[in-house]
Copies of this chain bind each other. A is one copy, B any other.
Amino acid sequence: MAARADAIAPTRDTPYRRPELLQHFQSVRALSLALAADLSDADSSAQSMPDASPAKWHLAHTSWFFETFILRDHVPAYQLFDERWPFLFNSYYEAEGARMARPSRGLLSRPSLDQVRGYRLHVEAAIAAAWDQLPEAALSLIELGCHHEQQHQELLVTDILHLFAQNPLAPVVWPPEQRRPSVAPDPLRWIAGREGKTEVGHGGKGFAFDNEGPRHPVWLAPHALADRLVTNGEWRAFVEDGGYATASLWLSDGWAWVRENGIEAPAYWRRDADGQWNERFGLDGQGSMDLAAPVRHVSYYEADAFAQWAGARLPTEAEWESAAQGLDSTQGNFLDTPRAVRPLPVTPGEGLRQMFGDVWQWTRSAYLPYPGFRAASGAVGEYNGKFMSGQFVLRGGSCATPRGHSRASYRNFFYPHQRWQFTGVRLAKDL
């Protein structure tokens, strides 16, 4: 389990706690390596679509981040591991110069996975050696780099899932785990949310990305959130009711997407031998669908159409965050160790559940800057602000999100057609 962020970061008047931060750094780095432990050289090199990256690339790119922004910038006389590698493993930082075209990442059969592992060790050793001399500014970048690496851990997992889903052999990295027979959850109940003026956005101590702030007031209309996530069983009723063939339920762009791509179900749903939607592909391979588990791998377009069909709507990100503020964001079905994670049926109970973990929850909020937002300066400032057009916000984290990485103010974002992440739906409605 990842070290808690509030154990390492400075408060207003104190410096970073160096030993704890180092331990956190090493723990995050170790998880990346562990996630790739059972991948072959070829598994780690393939790129199944332009949106995805090879696992090897994730391992190298996260190391490039530390090499560039810590070692190159803050450690005198540091020599680059290989002068040609920054071109290969820079992602999108225009300020850091030219880089390999994204859709061509799968052509890098060299360097090998083992060489990349060597790169990781080299960077980690250099950072450990320089640790005590690193300035506070570098420690702040270490912390940022750890969060950055956790994001790539989630991508590594979902990119491998996408790759294996293209392979007719349906390979798996991790063995399937014992599944208890699951029970249909209780019907949705509506939980009224806060009304009127409330505050959202990160404002306290502890790490947050620049896009989570500043904290600011918003005005919430009367509304309620569903107490749990939408299930596969509920989604299958939507499919069987002709949801994917009913234009009036869909956004215009969504309907075009459905028709151009022949969409008829969530990604990775598979028909059984009788043509019924009873199976799905996952990190544990192909198998029967758990109707009680949250639906996953749906696009915003699908989420919105489902909500229309259900006579409801998606929550706004402020509604979601307002409801999440009192909850413990480290509890839930998150990624702790390398294993075949999957969303789990809701636990019987009362009140809002499944707010953190399981699946990212689409909101109806476009990903835009908060009032007073300013991007961080320098190359790391390219991190978030430049993606603020055309995407929608997701909240909560998923079973592939490293535990401790998400929080109430955390804003994930994807284009409305994307669905290779563990993305699902919580309904909302006006009161």
Interface residues of A (CB under 8 A from B): 40-46, 48, 56, 84, 87-88, 92, 94-95, 100, 104, 106-113, 163, 166-169, 171, 196-197, 216-219, 221, 223, 247-248, 250-255, 300-301, 304, 313, 364-366, 368-369, 371-372, 382, 386-390, 392, 416, 430
In the bound complex, what is the Cα–Cα distance between A368 and B366 (angstroms)?
Answer: 8
In the bound complex, what is the Cα–Cα distance between A106 and B386 (angstroms)?
Answer: 32
In the bound complex, what is the Cα–Cα distance between A107 and B45 (angstroms)?
Answer: 10
- 26 A-B residue pairs with CB within 8 Å: A40-B112, A42-B44, A42-B45, A42-B56, A42-B110, A84-B168, A84-B169, A94-B247, A107-B167, A108-B167, A109-B167, A196-B217, A197-B219, A218-B218, A218-B219, A219-B219, A223-B371, A248-B382, A250-B386, A252-B386, A253-B387, A253-B389, A255-B386, A301-B389, A372-B430, A390-B390
B-chain residues with CB within 8 Å of residue A166 when the two chains form the complex: 104, 107
In the bound complex, what is the Cα–Cα distance between A110 and B368 (angstroms)?
Answer: 41
In the bound complex, what is the Cα–Cα distance between A92 and B301 (angstroms)?
Answer: 18
Known: A221-B372, A251-B387, A386-B251. Is A109-B216 also a contact (CB below 8 A)?
no
B-chain residues with CB within 8 Å of residue A252 when the two chains form the complex: 92, 386-387
Q: For residue A387, which residue of chain B has the nearest CB? A: B252
In the bound complex, what is the Cα–Cα distance between A388 and B368 (angstroms)?
Answer: 15
Name the distance in Å between A71's Cβ and chain B's nearest Cβ. Answer: 21
In the bound complex, what is the Cα–Cα distance between A366 and B364 (angstroms)?
Answer: 11
Q: For residue A88, which residue of chain B has the nearest CB? A: B168
B-chain residues with CB within 8 Å of residue A163 when the two chains form the complex: 107, 109
In the bound complex, what is the Cα–Cα distance between A36 and B63 (angstroms)?
Answer: 31
In the bound complex, what is the Cα–Cα distance between A217 and B219 (angstroms)?
Answer: 7
Known: A42-B109, A95-B248, A371-B430. Is A389-B365 also a contact (CB below 8 A)?
no
Q: For residue A221, which residue of chain B has the nearest CB? A: B371
Q: For residue A49, which residue of chain B has the nearest CB? A: B107
B-chain residues with CB within 8 Å of residue A390 when the two chains form the complex: 253, 390, 416
In the bound complex, what is the Cα–Cα distance between A218 and B217 (angstroms)?
Answer: 9
In the bound complex, what is the Cα–Cα distance between A41 and B45 (angstroms)?
Answer: 9
In the bound complex, what is the Cα–Cα distance between A92 and B250 (angstroms)?
Answer: 13
In the bound complex, what is the Cα–Cα distance between A40 and B110 (angstroms)?
Answer: 9
5 smallest beta-carbon distances between A and B, as pairs: A366-B366, A221-B371, A94-B247, A42-B45, A42-B109
Name the distance in Å between A251's Cβ and chain B's nearest Cβ. Answer: 5
In the bound complex, what is the Cα–Cα distance between A87 and B388 (angstroms)?
Answer: 39
Known: A40-B41, A41-B42, A366-B366. Is A48-B107 also a contact (CB below 8 A)?
yes
